Amino acid sequence: MDNIKRVGLLGGGVIGGAWAARAVLNGMDAVVCDTDPEAERKVGEVIENARRAYSMLTIAPLPAPGTWRIVRTLEEAADGADFIQESLPEREDLKIRLLAQAETAMRPDVVIGSSTSGLLPTRLQSGLKHPERFVVGHPFNPVYLMPLVEVCGGEKTSDDTKQRAMAFYRRIGMHPLHVRKEIDGFIADRLMEALWREALWLVNDDVATTEEIDDAIRFGPGLRWAFMGTMLIYRIAGGEPGMRHFMAQFGPSLKWPWTKLMDVPELDTALLDKLCAQSDAQAAGTGIREFERLRDSCLVSIFQGLKANDYGAGRTLADYEKRLWSAQGRDAVAIAVKPEPLRLYEGRVEPGWLDYNGHMNESRYLQVFSTASDALLALIGADTDYVRRGHSFYTAETHIMHLNEMRANTPFHVTTQVLGADEKRLHVWQIIHRGDDGAVVATGEHMYLHVDAKAGRAAPMLPEVRDKLAPIVVAHAGLPRPDNAGRSIGMKRKG
């Protein structure tokens, strides 16, 4: 699904706006249909929150962001789209009618994914002329961060549609879970619904407040659920004998009156008032956007921790980053070598890159130089495949001069000049240029040592890398040597 350039989004609420953010940050254009007069502001705020989260989530170079716009008709959103994601109100009759209306403006080969949280795809596809291209793609909030998307086809959904949908979701950093059997609520919502029903009874019976219920989850099983889920946790709880021993110990408790799972309290005014009052007290005046940013920061921390262990959602993030780095390598290969510094990387200062002064943090300067260097290495063939084969370039020395400041959203680009190279070393000079006025923001001088990672020592570059590097060295040999190249850090002595 690499050919998807434009995504049509039917609905721009909490879910649709977050789909727009995920699409835009993955380099796709998003056309969002929503009649809310405040839609542009709301979607824009969601995209900004997503940008902030992504700037903390990964240092892998994201593609240039796509564009987005709000339209007022379904046909405008569907026309010219390469993929459709429907996030309309959760009413079966409404979805059936509006999907059929939008289909009139779609190409017949375009996949339609529905964000429904529980409606059956067989019924939702019933009004389509091409029902075979309809599939449920049920995400979780916030869509731009949460990797899970449940993929479920209806009776007329083709296998090709399911595979294409899952490939698309995987491309944008998600973990598609194929729900093989059509069922109300799919898998995750049915599990969450059971917990929700029990929580309502606990509030109704004054056993616990909304805050106490949340504390019971976030300080307890929720921490384990983030990476192992329920079944593996219970298997471990059985000790060395595993699940069988666990069931022998705790299986009889299934007959105990611990739950009112199938008996739900009436959602009358008294219970609703109690829920709302407790929830307001729990929020303590904190606004929704502030809570969203806190939620995103916490999720990013969990993802990063899991990535360090190559497990669960962390592995999904790691796979996504590999695709981002590979794309960076493909882009670099297209650069033509001329007698001028290479321009291999451009971007803008992300909200999560700022320090307490409101400027780009010094660690991000190194990140920017590192990304530009990775683009150079990809250009000469020292890409992720090269590293997997046991060869790489390690940084031996770096000197950065900070000459100007950059604030959030400031555009920039990096130029790279090769000062020299031999069979084991690569000497590079880089400049970060501010995009709005062209000012030189920082310079970076780096010495990279080629290594045989398996042997753990310096080694000559392999011929395919050396041969690609050679014309760059020749092209840059005639360029003026930067004045500060080789400069050491020090204070001039007086007298």
Asked whether residue 102 falls in the same domain as residue 83, the answer is yes
3-state class of 371 per DSSP? Answer: helix
Same domain, 159 and 237: no
- Band of pLDDT at residue 493, cut at 50, 70 and 90: low
Same domain, 385 and 457: yes
For residues 137 and 149, what is the distance between their CA atoms, to the nearest angstrom? 6
CA Rg value for the chain = 27
219 and 115 together in one domain: no
Angle at 213 between CA 211 and CA 217, to 5 degrees: 110
Which of the 8 DSSP states describes residue 452? E
Most confident residue range from 205-214, 224-233, 268-277, 293-302: 205-214
Single-letter code of the amino acid located at 262: M
State the pTM of this model. 0.84
Residues 108 and 161 in one domain: yes
Domain that holds residue 253: 188-285
How many structural domains compose the chain? 3
Considering the domain architecture, whether residues 357 and 384 belong to the same structural domain is answered as yes
Q: Are residues 34 and 95 in the same domain?
A: yes
pLDDT in tens, 389-422: 999 999 999 999 999 999 999 999 999 999 999 9
The CATH code of the domain that includes 455 is: 3.10.129.10
Q: Is residue 292 part of a domain?
A: no
Say if residue 229 is in the same domain as residue 144: no
Residues 205 and 83 in one domain: no
- Residue 346 and residue 214 share a domain: no
| Cα distance between residue 84 and residue 106, in whole Å | 9
Asked whether the predicted pLDDT for residue 265 surpasses 90, the reply is no
For residue 401, tell me if it sits in a domain.
Answer: yes
User: For the domain that residue 272 is a member of, what is the CATH number?
Assistant: 1.10.1040.10
**Mean pLDDT, rounded, of the chain:** 93
22-75 pLDDT, tens per residue? 999 999 999 999 999 999 999 999 999 999 999 999 988 899 999 999 999 999
Could you tell me the CA-to-CA distances from 472 to 330, 477, 479 in Å, in that order?
18, 8, 11
Does a structural domain hold residue 304?
A: no
Instruction: Dig out the tokens for 465 from the structure.
Output: 């890398």
Residue, of 329 and 278, whose pLDDT is higher: 278
The pLDDT assigned to 459 comes to 97
Tokens (6 digits) for 477: 């040999």
Asked if residue 139 and residue 39 are part of one domain, the reply reads yes
For 157-178, give one letter per residue: b (16+ CB within 10 A) or e: bbeebbbbbbebbbebbbbbbe
Note the pLDDT tens digit of each residue in 430-485: 999 999 899 999 999 999 999 999 999 999 999 999 999 999 999 999 999 999 99
Q: Specify whether 376 is located in the same domain as 468.
A: yes
Question: Given this model, what pLDDT does residue 259 score?
Answer: 79
Q: What is the mean pLDDT of residues 235-245?
A: 86
* Strand (E) or helix (H) holding 305: helix 288-308
